[in-house]
Structure 1
Amino acid sequence: MIEIKKVESKKQLAAFVDFPHELYRGDKNYVPELHIAQRDILTPGKHPFHNHSSMQLFLAYKNGVLTGRIAAILNNNHNKFNNVSEGFFGFYDLYNDPEVSKKLLNEAEKWLVAYGATKMIGPVNPSTNETAGLLVEGFDSPAVAMMTYNKPYYLDLLTAEGFTKNIDLLAYDLPTNVVDKKSIKLKELLAQRLKDRNITVRNINLKNFDTEVKNILKVYNAAWQENTGFVPMTDDEFRYLAKDLKLILDKDFAFVAEYEGKAIGFALAIPDINQVLIKIKNGRLLPTGIFKLLFGKKKIDYVRVIALGVNKEYRRVGIEAFFYSEIIQRAMDKKIKGGEASWILENNEMMNNGLLKMNARVYKRYRILEKAI
């Protein structure tokens, strides 16, 4: 007997957050999310996503045993920005059971249809501005910071319920020992070209963090707006994300490009904190997890290029290439073994071609799926 229950209590929410720990027990590539971060993103009043949108969490029980979870998500900002009536699903985790999958997806679909949704898209947790995509290639290593991980059978379960590909998101691996050194050699030439155009590139100023965040948000919402699946971030959402990232930020990997003092582009690579989180049992910082986090940060030897964008009118003048050359040079200086550039839309020719020229290779592929409802 399969029973689907709405999450309506703190106890059920804790069960929802903790379920993956049991599901992935023994999987050496599973990285537990921090419990407090997952709890907050799912709780109205804690995360700014809930200020404009809503979600309903569901748990699946089979013969009284918790066997799966899902979130039905109504992103009002997405629908307004794109003039559509779409719904989303996320936090989709379960044992390999087609009946449980069917019932979870049906329950999420019913909830979305009641709000007028005509399409169901996912997984996103809870939007493309957070973690997104179903891992479909690259199960042989842990996900890096703020990237998803799932069982290989998830794709089969979703396909069986009528979901088809919307778009793929690519993750590139770029070890520092194989990177095309041409990008480094051209750095001075690129710097002069930018200077001739009154464009400067500098590190982010952590002492003026609030102002920096405000300016970078403008670039983010302008530079990414034509990307498939994009939805603008609100001031509150961006500040929330920036506050979290500041805890692990290395300013040597955070850059702002300016034209006559106005921000026109930015790039950010973050230390792969998952190298530490993978050792923190069940995502709990207390009693010992906090020490693993504090001391483990110093041993991280991999980064993730999480964002790199330039306003449309300033593209193709060398800013993107200069960003990458700076990140690569500093990674080498710090004895970092490499980095992941992710995620990159499969139809973003400029970014994909640029990475391939640097000898990066696609080593993980994530998929956004959709289904008419």
Structure 2
Amino acid sequence: MSLDVIYCEKSKHFRDFLNVPFILHKQDQNWVPPLQIVTKRILNKKNPFYKNAKISLWVAYKDNAPVGRIACIINQTHNNYYEENIAFWGFFESEENNEVTTALFKKIEEWALTHKISTIRGPMNPSINYECGLQISAFDTQPFFMMPQNPEYYRSLIENQGYKKIQDLQAWSINVDQAKIEPKKLRTLQAVQKKYDIQIRLVNKKYLANEIKLISKIYNDAWCDNWGYLPLDLDEFNYLISDLKPIIDPNLVYIAEIAGEPCGFSVGIPNLNQILLTNRNGKLLTFNLLNLIWQIKVKKSINQFRIPLLGVSKKYKHLPIGALLYYEYIKRITPQAQFFGAECSWILENNHAMQAGLRLVNATHYKTYRVYEKKF
């Protein structure tokens, strides 16, 4: 048996990099094939992320057949912000084989050392503002849109390389049978809302550019003390959501205001994975954008949504604005509504305020993702 790990310089190697997950996971019925056009867009050097970052892509071949892949990322924005010198790994895939995994991690650790870096953290695909974390529980469930997924054996492969937990990320579930607030707690919540003149409004899609600026401003204020936080670059944010604009449901994006002053926001997105599950080759040609929009807007094939972003300005952290935003969502999770369930993800394991707001609306923590680190 020959085992080679090749740096992606040629288009053939890049195609193999994209195809590895399809080779490894096509028989897994819970696996949702990623849209290759989205992966290409994330890795494209035109992505504003790469203004301050570099990435190396590697593919493992066993007897000339692709059996694994990995990326190593140097994110200078992170290193400058935290005044440290680390690299990140991501986009990891491997057959259940320690030898393949060892060969992949050996390559990225050597590459990091050539840049005078001896600490690597991950998975980040390619940063904390994208998909991140290794799934370590709830393997009998399907991932929600823009959340990572992996087989159960990945955990032992990673830990066998000497990588240790640095942070856990949580996914919380709300379904039609749970979506409620106890009457006494609801009265208290509504009393606080009235006392401080807290209003929750829908995002104004007509002025979406201005609303995005407003959301990014609140986000940077609300999240800046959170583990792993990176300032949200507006160009990068616009680049990321440009493909999502056709499927954004304005009824799932909220702005919170106190006496007219914006103080919080939340973003919900339809769980596109309910449709993408059937698109087994990950190519948009066989599952075009117009069909996606028709499935979402007309046929209403999607009855779940995900809340990837929610933030409250530090000035108002003492008020239950997060709970009020979650309450707006559970109003939409009823037997009569389009949506029957939602996932709130991800939530830091030490973000107790956010967890309290989720418990208030009867959400449950059902899935965990782990971020690892190794010093060598």
Q: Say what the alpha-carbon RMSD is for the aligned residues.
A: 1.9
Counterpart-to-counterpart distance in 1, 2:182 and 2:238: 36
Question: 1: distance between equivalents of 2:100 and 2:128?
Answer: 26
| Equivalent-residue separation in structure 2 for 1:208 and 1:245 (angstroms) | 16
State how far apart, in whole Å, the 1-side matches of 2:131 and 2:241 are. Answer: 15
Spell out the pairing of 1:265-280 with structure 2 (5 A cutoff): 265-280=264-279
Moved more, 55-64 or 353-362: 353-362
Separation in 1, partners of 2:88, 2:288: 33
Aligned AA (2:23): E
Q: Which structure 2 residues correspond to residues 273-312 of structure 1 after superposition, within 5 A?
A: 273-290=272-289, 292-297=291-296, 298-312=300-314
Distance 1:360 1:259 in 2: 26
Aligned to 1:109: 109
Contact 1:71-1:91 at 8 Å conserved across structures: yes
> What amino acid is aligned across from residue 339 of structure 2 in structure 1?
I
Does 1:314 find its partner at 2:316?
yes
Task: Output the CA distance in 2 between the equivalents of 1:185 and 1:3.
Answer: 60
Task: Supply the distance in 2 between the matched residues of 1:364 and 1:166 (Cα, whole angstroms).
Answer: 17
Which sections of structure 1, spanning at least 5 residues, go unmatched? none
- The Cα offsets for residues 250-286 of structure 1, whole Å up to 9 and x where unpaired, read as 1111001234544321011111010011111321111
Q: Distance in 2 between matches of 1:316 and 1:186?
A: 17
Secondary structure (helix, strand or coil) at the match of 1:145 reads coil
Q: Counterpart in 2 of 1:362?
A: 365
The CA distance in 2 between the partners of 1:150 and 1:370, in whole Å, is 18
Residues 1:22 and 2:28 are matched in the alignment: no
Q: Secondary structure at the match of 1:142?
A: coil
Amino acid across the alignment from 1:309: G
- 1:194: how far off? 3.6
Show CA shifts across 1:83-116 (max 9, x none): 1111100000010111110110111111122223
TM-score where L is the length of structure 2: 0.94
Q: Which amino acid aligns with 1:273?
A: L
Q: 1:150 is paired with a residue of what secondary structure?
A: coil
Worse overlay, 119-128 or 105-114: 105-114
Map 1:177-216 onto structure 2 (within 5 A). Answer: 177-182=177-182, 186=186, 190=189, 193-194=192-193, 196-216=195-215
SS in 1 for 2:331: helix
- Asked if residue 60 in structure 1 is aligned to residue 60 in structure 2, the reply is yes
AA matched with 2:368: R
For 1:6, the equivalent position in structure 2 comes to 7
The equivalent of 1:70 in structure 2 is 70
Cα 1:121/1:324, change in 2 over 3 Å: same
State whether residues 14 and 39 of structure 1, in contact with CA within 8 Å, keep that contact through their aligned partners in structure 2.
no
SS at match of 1:108: helix
Percentage of matched positions with identical amino acids: 36
Q: Distance in 1 between matches of 2:33 and 2:184?
A: 36
- Residue matched to 1:176: 176
C-alpha change, 1:51 and 1:279, in structure 2 (3 Å) is same
